[in-house]
């Protein structure tokens, strides 16, 4: 080994990023693409990327603002911050102003900054999105997993939160709550959020409410915990999921007034790292957050397609022996194959990582193991993102079906053949002897 490489390795081993690997979602996407380039047939249910195009009025705005070349303020374009504050007021009745909004290059980056500036423990109900814990680990924060049960819809209970906090009531903590959930597709009822809010307020827990899938609640009636705990909740959102613009990298945080000090600290770190979020994207995002009938139409159709497809996939997997709650939002399912454990053991599949590896190698279906979402390795669970289809085509086809008519199996097989075939293949593979 050359001496420069040797020296670099030693430095690397001394950092607390030791043992870090690339994000599971990013890695499965790149691996799936590489396999496709080699000519393999791959069903891409790994990365959770919206299948739908960015709504055309938002694309038009981006086109019109391509010339915007100046650095913007680190906290974000004032017009966008105002549009985001209006949006949360309109949708959730949350009383914030322009001042309370922070814009960043993706909500993922903003979450990282929050964990960096907040000296406290990070509470993560599991199953949870793949990057919350690695972010805490990079920074060196204490992580506390709060495992949830399939039987209770993978929802954190108020009793569980209280039990955790009462051992050391004054400890500073951030609770990350994500609903509709990545990876389960489930969400909380208003009553459940009210109860959780009471416990969070009692122990002064900061709630990072990751509502990036809020607009993809299938009934269009997403409720934020900020309604019941406005003084302690930060709402995280962005363009990536409901606006089909993951690659645009635009995230938003809405702070309560009492947490302005956290916002200020994050903005300072932002000014020393990313400087400002892309200017043309911010100008275009104003249009997205202002909404209007064209964007609402788009969302109604997107929810309709996702709801029908998600429920079909869940039903098909259940019939194949998995346990999978019917989804309520987003574009994920988190099936548990424990009921097939004996059958799978006979085929030398003992944990979720082996399950997903074998699935990819033997069927071409790419999904992620439950262990990447904070579950024990032996739980035979997996996350699948039912997004491998042409979203533009699906929206156009759904528009032709009367709103009171369900989108049935033949429709789904026509507009999302890769997804339906992948689910068939999974079910067949699981039941092969």
Q: How far is the CB of 135 from ligand GLU (least distance, A)?
A: 11
Q: How far is the CB of 331 from ligand GLU (least distance, A)?
A: 9
The DSSP element (H or E) to which 111 belongs, if any, is helix 107-117
| Contact status: 375 vs ligand GLU (CB under 6 A) | no
Contact predicate 226/209, CB 8 Å: yes
Based on CB atoms, which residue is closest to ligand GLU, 50 or 100?
50
Q: How far is the CB of 240 from ligand GLU (least distance, A)?
A: 7
Based on CB atoms, which residue is closest to ligand GLU, 199 or 243?
243
Based on CB atoms, which residue is closest to ligand GLU, 356 or 385?
385
Provide the 10 A C-beta neighbour count for residue 111.
Answer: 24
| Contact status: 44 vs ligand GLU (CB under 6 A) | no
Cα–Cα distance for residue pair 240/229, rounded to 1 Å: 26
Of 44, 75, 88, 108, the residue at the interface with ligand GLU (CB under 6 A) is 108
Of 25, 237, 263, 278, the residue at the interface with ligand GLU (CB under 6 A) is 25
| Contact status: 369 vs ligand GLU (CB under 6 A) | no
Tokens of 349: 């599949």
Q: How far is the CB of 212 from ligand GLU (least distance, A)?
A: 8
Q: Residues touching ligand GLU: how many (CB under 6 A)? A: 9
Cα–Cα distance for residue pair 409/135, rounded to 1 Å: 40
Tokens of 2: 């050359």
The DSSP element (H or E) to which 365 belongs, if any, is strand 365-366
| Contact status: 337 vs ligand GLU (CB under 6 A) | no
Q: How far is the CB of 47 from ligand GLU (least distance, A)?
A: 5
Provide the 10 A C-beta neighbour count for residue 140.
Answer: 11
Contact predicate 213/22, CB 8 Å: no
Based on CB atoms, which residue is closest to ligand GLU, 213 or 229?
213
Of 42, 44, 45, 48, the residue at the interface with ligand GLU (CB under 6 A) is 48
| Contact status: 107 vs ligand GLU (CB under 6 A) | no
Q: How far is the CB of 293 from ligand GLU (least distance, A)?
A: 28
Based on CB atoms, which residue is closest to ligand GLU, 49 or 363?
49
77, 100, 264 from 267: Cα distances, Å: 13, 12, 5
Cα–Cα distance for residue pair 366/32, rounded to 1 Å: 7
Q: How far is the CB of 101 from ligand GLU (least distance, A)?
A: 22
Of 32, 92, 182, 420, the residue at the interface with ligand GLU (CB under 6 A) is 182
Q: How far is the CB of 46 from ligand GLU (least distance, A)?
A: 7
The DSSP element (H or E) to which 146 belongs, if any, is strand 143-147
By beta carbon distance, the residue nearest ligand GLU is 48
Q: What is the DSSP letter of 371?
A: G
Taking the CA atoms of the chain, what radius of gyration do you get in angstroms?
22
Report CA torsion sign: 58, 64, 69, 74. Answer: negative
Q: How far is the CB of 400 from ligand GLU (least distance, A)?
A: 30
Of 129, 132, 373, 411, the residue at the interface with ligand GLU (CB under 6 A) is 129
Based on CB atoms, which residue is closest to ligand GLU, 131 or 323?
131
CA 211 to chain CA mean position, Å: 8
| Contact status: 225 vs ligand GLU (CB under 6 A) | no
Closest to 243 in 3D by CA, of 89, 416, 57: 57
Tokens of 171: 């400890």
| Contact status: 287 vs ligand GLU (CB under 6 A) | no
Residues 383-422 contacting ligand GLU, CB under 6 A: 385
Tokens of 12: 């690397």
Of 42, 45, 47, 250, the residue at the interface with ligand GLU (CB under 6 A) is 47
Contact predicate 211/222, CB 8 Å: yes
Cα–Cα distance for residue pair 351/381, rounded to 1 Å: 9
Contact predicate 176/214, CB 8 Å: no
Q: How far is the CB of 196 from ligand GLU (least distance, A)?
A: 23
Based on CB atoms, which residue is closest to ligand GLU, 47 or 84?
47
Contact predicate 419/389, CB 8 Å: yes
Site residues for ligand GLU per CB under 6 A = 23, 25, 47-48, 108, 129, 131, 182, 385
């Amino acid at each position: 080994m050359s001496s420069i490489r040797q020296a670099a390795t030693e430095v690397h081993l001394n950092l607390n990023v030791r043992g870090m690997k690339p994000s599971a979602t990013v890695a499965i996407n790149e691996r799936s693409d590489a396999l496709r380039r080699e000519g393999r047939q791959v069903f891409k249910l790994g990365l959770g990327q919206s299948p739908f195009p960015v709504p055309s009025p938002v694309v038009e705005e981006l086109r019109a603002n391509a010339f915007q070349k100046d650095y913007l303020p680190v906290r974000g374009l004032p017009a966008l911050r105002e549009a985001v504050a209006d949006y949360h007021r309109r949708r959730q009745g949350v009383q914030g102003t322009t001042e309370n909004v922070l814009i960043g290059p993706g909500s993922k980056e903003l979450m990282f900054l929050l964990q960096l500036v907040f000296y406290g423990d990070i509470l993560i109900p599991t199953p949870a999105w793949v990057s919350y814990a690695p972010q805490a680990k990079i920074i060196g924060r204490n992580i506390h997993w709060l495992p949830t049960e399939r039987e209770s819809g993978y929802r954190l209970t108020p009793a569980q939160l209280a039990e955790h906090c009462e051992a050391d009531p004054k400890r500073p903590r951030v609770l990350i709550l994500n609903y509709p959930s990545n990876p389960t597709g489930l969400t909380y009822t208003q009553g459940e959020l009210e109860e959780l809010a009471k416990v969070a307020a009692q122990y002064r827990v900061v709630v990072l409410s990751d509502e990036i899938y809020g607009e993809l609640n299938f009934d269009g009636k997403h409720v934020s915990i900020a309604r019941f705990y406005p003084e302690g909740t930060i709402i995280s959102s962005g363009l990536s999921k409901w606006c089909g613009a993951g690659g645009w990298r635009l995230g938003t945080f809405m702070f309560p007034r009492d947490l302005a000090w956290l916002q200020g600290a994050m903005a300072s770190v932002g000014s020393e790292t990313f400087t400002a979020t892309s200017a043309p994207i911010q100008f275009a995002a104003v249009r997205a957050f202002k909404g209007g009938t064209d964007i609402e139409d788009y969302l109604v159709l997107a929810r309709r397609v996702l709801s029908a497809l998600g429920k079909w996939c869940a039903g098909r997997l259940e019939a194949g022996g998995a346990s999978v709650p019917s989804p309520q939002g987003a574009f994920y399912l988190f099936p548990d194959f424990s009921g097939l454990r004996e059958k799978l053991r006979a085929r030398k599949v003992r944990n979720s990582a082996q399950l997903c590896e074998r699935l990819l190698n033997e069927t071409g279906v790419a999904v992620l193991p439950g262990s990447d979402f904070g579950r024990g390795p032996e739980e035979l669970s997996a996350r699948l993102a039912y997004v491998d289809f042409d979203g533009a085509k699906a929206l156009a086809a759904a528009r032709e079906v009367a709103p009171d008519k369900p989108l049935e199996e033949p429709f789904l097989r026509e507009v999302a053949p890769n997804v339906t075939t992948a689910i068939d293949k999974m079910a067949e593979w699981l039941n092969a002897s």
